[in-house]
Amino acid sequence: MASATLPPLVLAEVRKSLHISPDTSYHVNLGTDRPNIAWFVQLMKGAKSDLEALDFLVEHDSEDAIIELIQTMVFFDDINLAMDALEHLRDCLPPHLRGAIALYHSR
Question: Could you tell me where the beta strands, DSSP code E, fall in the chain?
Answer: 58-60, 66-69
Residue 65 pLDDT class (50, 70, 90 cuts) = confident
**Residue ranges per structural domain of the chain:** 1-31, 34-107
Q: Which pLDDT value is given to residue 17?
A: 95
17-21, 31-35, 71-75, 97-101: the lowest-pLDDT one: 31-35
Burial class (CB in 10 A: 0-12, 13-18, 19+), 39: exposed
Q: Which pLDDT value is given to residue 14?
A: 92
Residue 62 pLDDT class (50, 70, 90 cuts) = low
Q: Which pLDDT value is given to residue 107?
A: 76
Range from 11-15, 30-34, 82-86 that averages highest in pLDDT: 82-86
CB 14 within 8 A of CB 22: no
Asked whether residue 64 carries a pLDDT value surpassing 70, the answer given is: no
Spatial separation of the C-alpha atoms in residues 88 and 24, rounded to whole Å: 47
